[in-house]
Structure 1
């Protein structure tokens, strides 16, 4: 969903105790481990990742998308200078094909995990501290009501890519210059005539830019999907962080649901804080397609992650250890520690460095609620055939 800007502005919880010693400091973003990062408790949790046919299907689907990407000219170009020596495009593809074969031919989850530990080596992300600590957040594909034309209720547009964006002088216009403090002053020389679709809430339109794509229920019937088409040349400024700086919350309390509720309760403050994010995202219709990651292939719920692609191998298989919220029997969200195999298929404007990972949670309200609460530290490992 290129490019998620922040996608989830969240705090970092107390560290999770991981079942493996962190690697020593290194100049590389990945360090090969002498043995797989699993202990007795972790192994039992890993087996849960293959507990149902749906688990395997989602993983197979994500693997197939990565294999598709690895055959493209884009992948060939990305791997001309591998971020980590020895992790080549050919080795990543070979590893995915073998992992896929194991998924299809070994029925027992325990035997499957044993084969993985026997045939693969693990590389750990050095993390934000050089000791393996990775901050995990979540992102999702929102679903909002929208209109093909402006009305009294639908006033806030998403915009097509300006055909002359490459010729805009730099620095590019700021968000304030493009749409005004209230988000309604866009009939200027930059955005005039580029309205693609209209939303009824300014914050919804803003969050579509944060998430990078959306599924829109049109008031005249039907569904319109939109995806990233380009951005202005600014780095992302987190609105949640701006509210923390202003003393509205404590950083440790900040979640996306809290941010949304605060701006709903204080609508006048939207005009103060939203313009502080100068990065402006343009969209294109995607004709009902699934949300697409930065590799040009669909992202899969709870199987696709976004990382800094200057440091980590695009399309590769990884293992994440962190906390993710799930509904309990009372329909309340509670965090659970997970060991989960994922594919590195996306990136984002705020996903920089070896210590940041964004997890795609899915589409719709529940996915949004869950992704907004992902704010845990953890660890990330990449799997390559020996």
Structure 2
């Protein structure tokens, strides 16, 4: 879905012991003898007593990556990938073999032993070159919308302009395209490109942040919209802009806190949304599931977004971090997890070797979890031994 913003967070997760990484300009370094915590148990794969595991979801996510790895886009990406030894053919072979191991393994211990025997780990050097990675979450929201404007549905999202490739750079800013109040798009070059209208300006903006959404229309139909393109302006954190102006404290800043602020002070939307210069365009995805950078569906808690200038797209990875889980009365608790994932997405705010965004799913609960997520941990890629 090419999420455009890694979510803020309320708390930090527990860190695994840092592992020395040789000083190098490369984003990944091979680890030939992984420690036990690097292999992990993947608590979700087989499930806990009385709960069903999600082995099938992992297998489907692997199939999605394999489909991408057969594409010309994958061939072009790996032709210029900078880490020696990580090739398209090796990534593909690794996924095929790992899929066989998942199908044939009856327990976490059996899978872990096979992985230790057959695979080598490449660890991300992180943002500190000691392997520390910051994990955030993103999701696919569900909002009420209409295909025609009226007094209730006023705030549009737009299709990609047919002449967008020829737009002069730098591209117009958000303020120049839709105006300070978000309602002036019909007076400029976006006129006639409206895809749908929303009730709430903040919700329309949040679709820009997440990169896709499901829209519930007045007749009960559900429309899915996905990323189609964006202007060339760099990412700006609206939350940090609020903190810089003293409107919110930087400590404890999260997506829910920011949303709550704008709910109480809607007039501030006209001050702060124009500061987010990038503008996202959308397409009707025909009911298809949320799709990532690799043009395949993303899977809740099995798909991650990374910097695709540094990390191998479509590849098998393992994350060690903590994720938020719902408790009673709407509270969240963070639990340490070690989970196999597929690198299938990218994001404007996901830059450098020390950033990962985890796709949390669709709807309100997924949004609540993504909104509070910010955890430290480690990221590894699994490749068959040569």
For the residues of structure 1 that align with 2:322 and 2:271, how far apart are their CA atoms?
33
Structure 2 residue matching 1:46: 3-state secondary structure:
coil
For the residues of structure 1 that align with 2:170 and 2:213, how far apart are their CA atoms?
28
Shift of the alpha carbon at 1:212?
0.5
The partner residue of 2:27 within 3, 26, 29 is 29
For the residues of structure 1 that align with 2:216 and 2:44, how far apart are their CA atoms?
33
Q: Which has the larger displacement, 117-126 or 362-371?
A: 117-126
CA contact (8 A) 1:49 1:341 kept: no
Shift of the alpha carbon at 1:286?
0.5
Equivalence for 2:44? 49
Q: Which has the larger displacement, 273-282 or 112-121?
A: 112-121
Alignment of 1:235-250 (within 5 A): 235-250=234-249
Shift of the alpha carbon at 1:328?
2.6
Aligned residues: 381
1:148-200 residue CA offsets vs partner (Å, 9 max, x unmatched):
10011110001011111122222211111111111111122311111110000
Equivalence for 2:107? 108
For the residues of structure 2 that align with 1:83 and 1:319, how far apart are their CA atoms?
20
Equivalence for 1:365? 364
Q: TM-score, normalised by structure 1?
A: 0.95
- CA RMSD across the alignment: 1.5
Check if 1:277 corresponds to 2:276. yes
Structure 2 residue matching 1:187: 3-state secondary structure:
helix
For the residues of structure 2 that align with 1:126 and 1:163, how far apart are their CA atoms?
41
- Where structure 1 has 5 or more consecutive residues not aligned to the other structure, the ranges are none
Equivalence for 1:338? 337
Equivalence for 1:145? 144
Alignment of 1:157-168 (within 5 A): 157-168=156-167
Equivalence for 1:266? 265
For the residues of structure 2 that align with 1:154 and 1:241, how far apart are their CA atoms?
29
CA contact (8 A) 1:139 1:358 kept: yes
Shift of the alpha carbon at 1:8?
1.2
Structure 1 residue matching 2:110: 3-state secondary structure:
helix
- Where structure 2 has 5 or more consecutive residues not aligned to the other structure, the ranges are none
CA contact (8 A) 1:20 1:37 kept: no
Q: TM-score, normalised by structure 2?
A: 0.95
Q: Once superposed, which parts of structure 1, at least 4 consecutive aligned residues long, lie more than 4 Å away?
A: none
Equivalence for 2:15? 17
CA contact (8 A) 1:31 1:123 kept: yes
Q: Which has the larger displacement, 222-231 or 50-59?
A: 50-59
CA contact (8 A) 2:326 2:332 kept: yes
